[in-house]
């Protein structure tokens, strides 16, 4: 069952609750009166990553405080919540890939799937393995940890947030949209669905991404703006950037996905562009 139908079919009583009051600014009357019980629950599950994605979450500053105050109960986080075991959550934000030599990590990602309505892979490592595909052990205290997989190789993932790290705004927007998808009115759910759809499509697309995908999805579509980010992101220098156009050397590519996740155009979607103003209004109303 797809994410939308799973959510919509999951708890009808939620749809009958009063609107969250976050869609149109005109509807936002007394956000401060919003009951705590209306919040969704979310947590940050830290697998094998550099913590840069968590830093990106925190970089939302005031927006993050509003999210935590009004819309999200943060129920799990290694550093920010004093909870030892993964609880039931509406949204799990997973950072990092999974070390398959570590039974605890494998168990933790499976539990995350079992206990969460929506699993979001945050950042290139969780989505595609990214730089952790290069890991071959050798860390002083964990020499046997030598094989890492993106989380989608072990569990079903609903949404990808690409980037290394993703922008703070993108993570925040996904949290707001997840809230509206779970708690909003019909109109809010439609807009939230339009916003999340390309990120859900990325999750359906699989756990590998490489320069060939940039060629197919961005360059050949005429979407490349020649920013050079892909060339700068490639850890093995398989991409050169000349005359405003990226060139890939496919024999060098190790399919780490860094170029794809860093490209600002790789998950551009016409539904989002068409609904851009309404979506902006929705997010502004929430924050």
CB of residue 207 vs ligand SF4: minimum separation in angstroms?
12
Q: No. of H helices and E strands in the chain? A: 13, 9
Helix (H, G, I), strand (E, B) or coil at 263: coil
CB of residue 260 vs ligand SF4: minimum separation in angstroms?
6
Q: Is 127 in the site for ligand SF4 (CB under 6 A)?
A: no
- The single residue among 265, 271, 272, 281 that binds ligand SF4, judged by CB under 6 A, is 265
C-beta closer to ligand SF4: residue 126 or 233: 233
Q: Is 267 in the site for ligand SF4 (CB under 6 A)?
A: no
- The single residue among 92, 122, 149, 210 that binds ligand SF4, judged by CB under 6 A, is 210
- Interface region with ligand SF4, contact rule CB under 6 A, candidates 98-106, 162-170, 195-203, 261-269: 261-269
Q: Give the span between the Cα atoms of 83 and 61, in whole angstroms.
A: 23
Q: Per the structure block, which two tokens stand in for 80?
A: 């920010």
C-beta closer to ligand SF4: residue 74 or 148: 148
CB of residue 148 vs ligand SF4: minimum separation in angstroms?
15
Strands 72-77 and 98-99: unpaired
C-beta closer to ligand SF4: residue 99 or 238: 238
Q: Is 152 in the site for ligand SF4 (CB under 6 A)?
A: no
Binding marks (x or -) toward ligand SF4, 220..259, rule CB under 6 A? Answer: ----xxxxxxx--xx-x-xx------x-x----xxxxxxx
C-beta closer to ligand SF4: residue 203 or 258: 258
Q: Per the structure block, which two tokens stand in for 66?
A: 């509003």
Q: Is 125 in the site for ligand SF4 (CB under 6 A)?
A: no
Of 263, 96, 109, 91, whose CA–CA distance to 173 is shortest? 91
C-beta closer to ligand SF4: residue 163 or 184: 163
Q: Is 91 in the site for ligand SF4 (CB under 6 A)?
A: no
CB of residue 220 vs ligand SF4: minimum separation in angstroms?
10
Ranges within 13-32 binding ligand SF4 (CB under 6 A): none
Q: Give the span between the Cα atoms of 69 and 34, in whole angstroms.
A: 10
CB of residue 241 vs ligand SF4: minimum separation in angstroms?
6
Non-local CB neighbours of 69 within 8 Å, separated by 6+ positions: none
C-beta closer to ligand SF4: residue 161 or 230: 230
Q: Is 109 in the site for ligand SF4 (CB under 6 A)?
A: no
95 contacts 89 by C-beta, under 8 angstroms? no
Non-local CB neighbours of 210 within 8 Å, separated by 6+ positions: 253, 255, 256, 257, 259, 260
Buried b (16+ CB within 10 A) or exposed e, 198-222: bbbebbeeebbbbbebbeebbbeee
47 contacts 95 by C-beta, under 8 angstroms? yes
Give the residue ranges of DSSP H helices in the chain. 3-10, 12-15, 52-58, 62-66, 103-115, 124-128, 168-183, 186-205, 211-214, 229-233, 258-262, 270-274, 276-286
- The single residue among 160, 179, 211, 267 that binds ligand SF4, judged by CB under 6 A, is 211
List interacting residues with ligand SF4 (CB under 6 A): 210-211, 214, 218-219, 224-230, 233-234, 236, 238-239, 246, 248, 253-259, 263-265
């Amino acid at each position: 069952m797809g994410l939308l139908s799973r959510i919509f079919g999951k708890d009808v009583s939620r749809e009958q609750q009063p609107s969250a009051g976050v869609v149109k600014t005109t509807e936002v009357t007394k956000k401060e009166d919003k009951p705590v019980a209306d919040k969704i629950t979310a947590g940050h599950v830290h697998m094998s990553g550099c913590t840069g994605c968590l830093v990106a979450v925190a970089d939302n500053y005031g927006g993050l405080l509003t999210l935590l105050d009004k819309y999200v109960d943060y129920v799990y986080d290694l550093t920010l919540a004093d909870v030892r075991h993964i609880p039931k959550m509406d949204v799990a934000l997973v950072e990092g890939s999974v070390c398959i030599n570590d039974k605890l990590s494998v168990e933790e990602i499976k539990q995350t799937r079992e206990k969460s309505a929506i699993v979001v892979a945050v950042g290139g490592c969780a989505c595609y393995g990214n730089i952790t595909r290069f890991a071959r052990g050798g860390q002083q205290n964990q020499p046997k940890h030598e094989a890492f997989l993106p989380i989608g190789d072990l569990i079903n993932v609903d949404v990808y947030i690409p980037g290394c790290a993703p922008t703070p705004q993108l993570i925040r927007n996904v949290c707001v949209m997840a809230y509206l998808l779970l708690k909003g009115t019909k109109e809010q759910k439609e807009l939230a669905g339009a916003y999340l759809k390309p990120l859900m499509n990325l999750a359906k697309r699989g756990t590998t991404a490489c320069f060939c995908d940039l060629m197919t999805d961005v360059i050949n579509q005429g979407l490349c703006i020649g920013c050079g980010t892909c060339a700068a992101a490639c850890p093995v220098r398989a991409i050169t950037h000349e005359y405003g156009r990226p060139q890939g050397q496919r024999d060098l590519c190790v399919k780490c996905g860094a170029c794809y996740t860093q490209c600002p155009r790789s998950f551009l979607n016409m539904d989002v562009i068409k609904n851009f103003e309404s979506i902006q209004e929705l997010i502004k109303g929430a924050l």
